Amino acid sequence: MSKKNRKLHQKKQKYKNLKYQIKEVELVRLEKANVPMLTQTEKQYRNHAIKFANWCKEQYGCRTLDECSAHIQDYADFLVAQGRTPSTIHTYLAGICWICGIPLADIQKPIRVVAENTRSRGTKAVDGRADSSREASPRLYDFARIVGIRRAEYLHLAPDDLVTDDFGNWCIRVKKGKGGKRQLQRILPEELPAIKAVFDNPATPEHLFSKGEMNNKIDLHHLRALRAQQMYRYYLDKIENTLGYREQLIAEIRHIWEHDDDTRKENGYRAKRWSDMKVTGNYILRGNNRKLAKKHGLPLQYDRLSLLAVSIFHLSHWRHDVTVANYLLAV
């Protein structure tokens, strides 16, 4: 073999780096799904897969994704040994298996339970600190108790973000929330004066709250959970005691759902599938959710329509299970 041909042969044998191989898999997935871009979740999957691939390269000298795939169980065992929670391990493995084309069910892993999610539950180390109390930022605290959005979203609120939706409900507009979502966060008519007082006195011409007001350890997620619980009771009471409200609420949810689907399609994302079962009957707690609810004297079932209203209009999650586990059971 000539020197020139030998160099060409060596070049052909050269492996693409693992990160590049992962991106190639993503491109194939996008082409098959006929969408132009990854969802936020799929981007997180990529990051977890890259960390896994680097680990495989360091531990086993892997050069291809196929070689890495043989070590997913080893990585799962490694995460367990590192003391990662079952939820964290599940999240990491979901991304890795998605990239590698391996069924997640084939990997042995700890079972996730709702009780391990301690965010905004019980007493925290920061609870006794001065910067975790209402006094640390009274204007923010009182506003958050009514509005219930995420911490990062308060910092980006502008003086023109008090708006009404297509049904005339007053809302706080979140232009870019978690995952890039746009959210209209509903408030009740009787809460409008307190909300308007904040909007009438913004910290700057561009921002409702200053960086100083946001520099605290107030548990805003706990206030978000309290708001979700309050609004669940509100919707349930109104459904049970106001003639025609159930039908009205379903119509509003369907309208928002269809608009969101149109937006997702325009941006190249997959549409969510609607089913009347989402607003019919009760969501029954099972397993560890049920045990946790019993322990704290909480309901063992929730009205599906009220749950979905809270999830869409106040949490931007669109899921019954997340609303219950992370907010209504946050005690």
Task: Give tens-digit pLDDT for 149-181.
Answer: 999 899 899 999 999 999 999 999 998 776 566
Second CATH level (architecture) for the domain 13-112: Orthogonal Bundle (1.10)
Task: Please list the alpha-helical segments (H only) found in the chain.
Answer: 3-13, 18-33, 40-60, 65-69, 72-81, 86-100, 138-147, 151-155, 192-199, 211-214, 220-241, 245-266, 287-295, 304-310, 320-323
* CA–CA dist 23, 69 (Å, integer): 16
Average pLDDT value for the chain: 85
Strand partners, 164: 170
Pair of tokens at residue 196: 């308007």
Q: Where are the beta strands (DSSP E) in 116-182?
A: 162-164, 170-174
Name the token pair of 326.
């992370």
Domain ranges of the chain: 13-112, 130-216, 221-331
Question: Which amino acid makes up residue 160?
Answer: D
Burial 51-77 (b: 16+ CB within 10 A, else e): ebbebbeeeeebbebebbbebbeebbe
Quote the DSSP letter at residue 324: I
CA–CA gap between residue 39 and residue 56 (Å, rounded):
26
> Which tokens belong to 149?
């959005």
Residue 81's CB is within 10 A of a number of other CB atoms, namely 8
pLDDT tens-digit readout, 183-237: 899 999 999 999 999 999 999 999 999 999 999 999 999 999 999 999 999 999 9
Alpha-carbon distance 77 to 108, whole Å?
A: 8
Q: Measure CA of the first residue to CA of the last residue in the chain; give whole Å.
A: 73
Closest CA to 74 of 90, 94, 60: 60
Give the pLDDT of residue 330.
Answer: 84
Residue 8: what pLDDT?
43
Rounded Cα–Cα distance for residues 74 and 190 (Å) = 56
Per-residue pLDDT for the chain (331 aa), expressed as one digit of tens each?
455 554 444 444 456 788 888 888 878 766 666 656 667 677 888 889 999 999 999 999 999 989 999 999 999 989 988 888 888 888 899 889 988 888 888 888 877 665 555 544 444 444 456 567 889 999 999 999 999 999 989 989 999 999 999 999 999 999 877 656 678 999 999 999 999 999 999 999 999 999 999 999 999 999 999 999 999 999 999 999 999 999 999 999 999 988 877 776 666 666 677 889 999 999 999 888 899 899 999 999 999 999 999 999 999 888 898 899 989 998 7
Q: What is the DSSP letter of 315?
A: I
Instruction: Let me know: does 95 contact 44? Beta carbons within 8 Å.
Output: yes
Is residue 220 within 8 Å of 154, Cβ to Cβ?
Answer: yes
